[in-house]
Structure 1
Amino acid sequence: MDKKVEEFYERLKVELDNSNTWPAEYLFKFIVPTIDDNVARVENAFNCLGAVIKTTKSKTGKFTSISVDVTMKNAQEIIDKYQEVGTIEGIVSL
């Protein structure tokens, strides 16, 4: 993993631990190109976690925003999800 990316996740973990009592509700937000199975891949990453997932297509339909509201066990679980969906081409995590 890239050094900057590694440092980002380390800082995120500290911030999450400082601002949450685990388990905690967490809102993931992503934007993906509306192609292939991008939306399904994000939804599948949160399958079986009891997540509330909302999707909204952009006016042109080229992009889809995805909000995932889910209870996570700890900061590392959140980071693992970001890394899992980070493999989707063109995804932007907000």
Structure 2
Amino acid sequence: MDKNTEEFYDRLKTELDLSNTWPALYLFKFIVPTENDNVERVEQAFNCMGAVIKTTKSRTGKFTSVSIDVQMKNSQEIVEKYQEVSVIKGIISL
């Protein structure tokens, strides 16, 4: 992981700890290219966590937004989920 990415995750973790009491409900939002199994891979990352997942395709169908409401234990768990899905080609975390 490069220095900028590491700093981003450190900052995110700090902000999450300042604004939440754990465990907390957290909303993940991603945009992924609709091609291949990208949407399924995002959904699989949250499998067996009791997550509520909503997907919406873009008007052209090239992209799909994925919103995931899920109870998270702490800020580190959130950072780890972002890192886990970051390997999906073309994913954008919002």
TM-score of the aligned structures, taking structure 2 as reference length: 0.99
Corresponding position of 1:61 = 61
Q: Which amino acid aligns with 2:83?
A: Q
CA RMSD after TM alignment: 0.3
Query: How far does the alpha carbon of each residue in 1:12-35 deviate from its partner, in whole angstroms, 9 at most, with x for none?
Result: 000000100000000000000001
How far residue 80 of structure 1 moved from its aligned partner, in angstroms, is: 0.3
CA distance in 2, matches of 1:2, 1:35: 28
Query: Unpaired segments of 5 or more residues in structure 2?
Result: none
CA distance in 2, matches of 1:81, 1:20: 17
Instruction: Say how many residue pairs are matched.
Output: 94
CA distance in 2, matches of 1:59, 1:6: 34
Tell me, yes or no, if structure 1 residue 85 matches structure 2 residue 85. Answer: yes
Alignment of structure 1 residues 1-94 onto 2, 5 Å:
1-94=1-94
CA distance in 1, matches of 2:42, 2:51: 11
How far residue 62 of structure 1 moved from its aligned partner, in angstroms, is: 0.2
Percent of aligned positions that are identical = 77
How far residue 73 of structure 1 moved from its aligned partner, in angstroms, is: 0.2
CA distance in 2, matches of 1:24, 1:5: 24
CA distance in 2, matches of 1:41, 1:32: 10
Query: Unpaired segments of 5 or more residues in structure 1?
Result: none
CA distance in 1, matches of 2:42, 2:12: 20
TM-score of the aligned structures, taking structure 1 as reference length: 0.99
